Structure 1
Amino acid sequence: MTDTPTAIIDAQPVTGSGTPFDVVDPASEEVIATIPGAEDALVDRAVTSARAAFEKGDWRLLPVADKQKVLRDSADAIDAAADDIADIECANTGLPYHQVRGRQVGRAADNFRFFADYIGQMTAELYEQEANYLTYVRREPLGVAGLISPWNSPLALGSMKIASAIAFGNSCVIKPAEQAPLGLTMMTQVMQGAGLPPGVVNLVNGLGVESGDRLVRHPLIDGVSFTGGTRTGKIIMEAAGAMLKPSVMELGGKSANIIFDDADFEQAVDGALVGIFTNNGQQCLAGSRILVQRGIYDRFVEAFVARAKKVRVGHPREATTEVGPLMTKAHYDHVMSFVPAAEDAGARILVGGGRAEGFERGYYFQPTIVEVDSNTHRLCQEEIFGPFAAIMPFDTAEEAWAIANESRFGLVSYIWSQDIAKIMEGQERIFAGTVWCNTPMIRDLHAPFGGYRESGVGAEGGRAAEAFYTRQKTVSIPRRPLTLPKLGA
């Protein structure tokens, strides 16, 4: 059993008395931690600590160069503890260890280094239209940020929230998803020794409907950032909006991966596999609707299915594993519920469609590809969030754009073509926050990442984070003494 605190407040671990919850290793189905949830009083204490730290100003008023050093020291501290963080994250999430150690932990550290660099390059606005005045715009911290991270990529996405919030002088309270709190809690503990004043980064663990709800509705929280499911995001945004708190919501996706017949065929096959099967298929930006132009459709399906059959499903600790278990029993059942029945005339299983062979325990699901006849099928309209792709043909570019946009989501999209004119048309026509062209997932942290429609509101990234985590203040100063009207003289 892992000893994980309920909360980290003023840089110290704290045990709560709220509803306890179990953390399960999805590879073995064994309980590896039982954590008492943060009761309302403990959430209050965490938020009050963050508010006190903000108002005291030891972090908020620190010179930029000093903030940069602390952010970089935080990254170094994460790197120094990378093996331990990766070990506990692998046990908690079922993500392959080599992916967690090689990418997730490194990305967490890099998030702090990125924002250390970013705040050293910020610029201000100056206006001189009024001849007698200089008017400039200050960016000041928002205050105390309530951060709620998801279970599918806790380290990379949770660290992004913390780094972007504190870089601009805010304090924060982060609540990890109750399914995957262990790695992010350890990371937050590790950071406390990197020079952050106590209270700048607090953490509470607990159920979303209890600790998360209290955090969002707390009157001393000034803004909310949430990554997770669309249904939950709507509830959180409504609660925040009722208190006029700004919020950023990065939510679900059902992204189109469009492959034209003039694409680099091998690259497109590789990219489609990466786009749907990495991170155990549990990623909002997965290319889960694969649209292939009819001229290469049969050839592509044959190659894609053949490769999918060879994707190595295994224990997360094994170096050869490419796909591990799904996160929870409830999520395993959710993914399994999308397997089409034999009588479903609109969908045909090409590979997978059930429990991975060779595992008596663990939430192992086969990499699955289903051919569908129409984009209206539920496999194309609902987020499955697993190693589960729907594939269908199209004839013209116009048809591809229409199918891509026939969705209530709009997070990302992919286009594979050697025709630059086609790519330029596609990036204009597709309604999505990100369009990747001839590449699977790539993230430049300078650029905003957010979705259209039910994929979210607002964005994360360099300038987008600056806009959300700071307030604008306009200051006007006369250039010279003014002659003012003398009312009542």
Structure 2
Amino acid sequence: MTELITALIDGETVATGDAPIAVINPADGNLIAELPEADGATVDRAVAAARRAFDEGTWRHMAVDKRQEVLRRCADLIDGAADELADIETANTGIPRSQLRNRSIRRAADNFRFFADYIGQSVGDLYEQNPDYLTFVRREPVGVAALISPWNSPLALGSMKIASSIAFGNSCVLKPSEQAPLGISRLVALLGDAGLPEGVVNLVNGRGATTGDRLIRNPGVDVVTFTGGTPTGRVIMRTAGELLKPATVELGGKSANIIFDDTDFEQAVDGALLGIFTNNGQQCLAGSRILVQRGIADRFIEAFVARTRNIRVGDPLDPATDIGPLVSQRHMQHVLSFVPEAGSGDALLTGGRRAPQFERGCYVEPTVVLASSNDARVCQEEIFGPFAALIVFDTDEEAYRIANASRFGLVSYVWSQSIARIMEAQQRIEAGIVWCNTPMMRELRAPFGGYKDSGVGADGGAACEAFYTRQKTVTIPRRPIALRKLGV
């Protein structure tokens, strides 16, 4: 029986909405759920519930230690349901279950624990330079946050938005991607058992252009955050700006992965493979442009291609699977559209086709292309799949020029055993995050956000506190003061 995915408002399921959106299992093409698109009235009801919860103040005025207890219970509930969440998320996204179980779901629980710890250490500012006054600055929650989460890592990224917004006392309305709503819908339902007051976390479903737009425009929403594609991010920023609502958007990437000739060779090969093929290649932080210095290029390319051919494409429920199906038929066709044609100047080294061993499902062979130059389409556009573009460079200066010749600037990777080279690289690269001699490492205390078309604003401890709270300056005389008497 096909599951019906509903909205969750004030702790109650709400099934009203327009004609259902089909949710398909990308492994076999079967319909697994139907998603009624929340109409305007449903969205407004969700915002009203969040606003009422915020105005009543039960959550935002709760003692910090009590709020911490609730956030930690949220994490414990996620841990307790990890197997269930992994099964749901795998069926919906095609991401290998082992990766979800060991990374994304663990990260979802860690998000709540991190912000529970963070709010216990937050401090205000005190200014006492003026001998007659004390001035202190405190932070207050902004109100109601609209959270729009992506389809490529729903639990990890959706939970980050929920945990960071409510930790500081806000209420929220979450709209997950209509392509992958199942895992995050189950997570929101779980949170109801953690002790959150009704209305603090609400969920609506639907497309961005309809449900998402209505949510952003609702006057009861105070701030907006979005993770997803750059074109949609532009629309959201424009809409939020017209309404004078602060917004953060974490968008696309075409990250440079620079392999210098003095690198630890095996580490660099391992890291480059993980950087592009983890999560089925569907991640904005993928190291999709691999820049290799000429002195080791032939050896590196040979090893990288050989290892790529050994990557196991298969059933995402199989623990031995490295890459599962892409999220949809439409996205599979998008990824395959980047395979270079004969005579284009770019050389297809391996992959470049739908995996032939599967009769059904959105399976694509991991693909490697040697690009003719950084101007090639495979180097400039975000493919968002298991698709690596290799570029050979000669000098360090050339590597920095190629890395920065992109409209994106989310992350970058640097592989070298020279600390001087690493320090120069991190300074020269135009990206919000630079990972040196490591694949993806997420430090929640530090800001995570991009330059250029990769977004505006950041996630992370202090970055989230700045976004989800308002500053209030309070000035108090140290002693009674003599005031000028007007009109005497």
Letter aligned with residue 187 of structure 1: L
Q: Distance in 2 between matches of 1:210 and 1:292?
A: 44
Q: Pairwise mapping of residues 379-394 of structure 1 onto structure 2 (< 5 A)?
A: 379-394=378-393
Q: Which residue of 2 is the match for residue 301 of structure 1?
A: 301
The alignment partner of 1:88 has SS state of: helix
SS in 1 for 2:3: coil
Contact residue 4 and residue 185 of structure 1 kept, 8 A: no
- Are the equivalent residues in 1 in contact too, given 2:413–2:435 (CA < 8 A)? yes
Matched, 1:352 2:351: yes
Matched residue, 1:411:
410
Matches within 5 A, 1:270-289: 270-289=270-289
CA contact (8 A) 2:2 2:31 kept: no
Instruction: Note the alpha carbon deviations across 1:253-299, whole angstroms, 9 max, x for none.
Output: 00000000000000000000000000000000000000000000000
| C-alpha distance in 2 between matches for 1:457 and 1:4 | 35
Question: Which residue number corresponds to residue 368 of structure 1?
Answer: 367
Tell me the equivalent position of 2:40: 40
Deviations 1:384-438 (A, max 9, x none): 0000010011011100000000000000000000010010001000000000000
Q: What does residue 314 of structure 1 align with?
A: 314
Alignment of 1:113-128 (within 5 A): 113-128=113-128
- Counterpart CA distance in 2 for 1:267 and 1:273 is 10
AA paired with 1:472? Q
User: What CA distance in whole angstroms lies between the structure 1 residues aligned with 2:138 and 2:18?
Assistant: 41
Query: Do the aligned partners of 2:5 and 2:182 also contact (CA within 8 Å) in 1?
Result: no
1-structure distance, mates of 2:241, 2:19: 27
Q: CA RMSD in A?
A: 0.7
Q: For each residue in 1:176-235, what CA deviation from the matched residue of structure 2 results, as whole angstroms up to 9, or x when unmatched?
A: 000000000000000111100000000001111111111111111000010000000000
2:197 paired residue number: 197
Displacement after TM superposition at 1:84 (Å): 1.1
Matches within 5 A, 1:192-271: 192-271=192-271
Distance in structure 2 (CA, Å) of the matches to 1:87 and 1:368? 27
With over 3 angstroms needed to count, the CA separation of the structure-2 counterparts of 1:369 and 1:224, relative to structure 1, is same
TM-score (norm. length: structure 2) = 0.99
Report what 1:436 is aligned to: 435
TM-score (norm 1): 0.99
Q: Distance in 2 between matches of 1:15 and 1:79?
A: 28
Query: Are positions 1:398 and 2:400 aligned together?
Result: no
Q: Distance in 2 between matches of 1:192 and 1:436?
A: 37
After superposing on structure 2, the runs of 4+ consecutive aligned residues of structure 1 that deviate more than 6 Å are none
Alpha-carbon separation, structure 1, partners of 2:356 and 2:265: 30
2:158 — aligned with what? 158
Aligned pairs for 1:7-18 (under 5 A) are: 7-18=7-18
Distance 1:35 1:363 in 2: 21
The one-letter amino acid of 1:331's match is: H
Measured in 2, the distance between the counterparts of 1:459 and 1:273 equals 26
Alpha-carbon shift at residue 2 of structure 1 (Å) = 4.6
Q: Measure, in 1, the Cα distance between the counterparts of 2:193 and 2:409.
A: 40
Corresponding position: 1:477 with 2:473:
no
Aligned to 1:83, what secondary structure does the other structure show?
helix
Preserved CA contact (<8 Å) 2:314 2:321: yes
Alignment of 1:97-108 (within 5 A): 97-108=97-108
Aligned to 1:488: 487
1:458 corresponds to which residue? 457
Q: % of aligned pairs identical? A: 66
Listed one character per residue, the Cα deviations across residues 111-168 of structure 1 (whole Å, up to 9, x for unaligned) are 0000000000001100112210100101000100000000000000000000000000
CA distance in 1, matches of 2:206, 2:132: 56
Letter in 1 for 2:337: S
SS in 2 for 1:193: coil
Give, in whole Å, the separation in 2 of the partners of 1:244 and 1:6: 31
Q: Name the counterpart of 1:82.
A: 82
DSSP 3-state at the match of 2:136:
strand
Q: Which residue of 2 aligns with 1:187?
A: 187
TM-superposed CA distance for 1:37, in Å, is 0.8
Q: CA deviation at 1:342?
A: 1.0
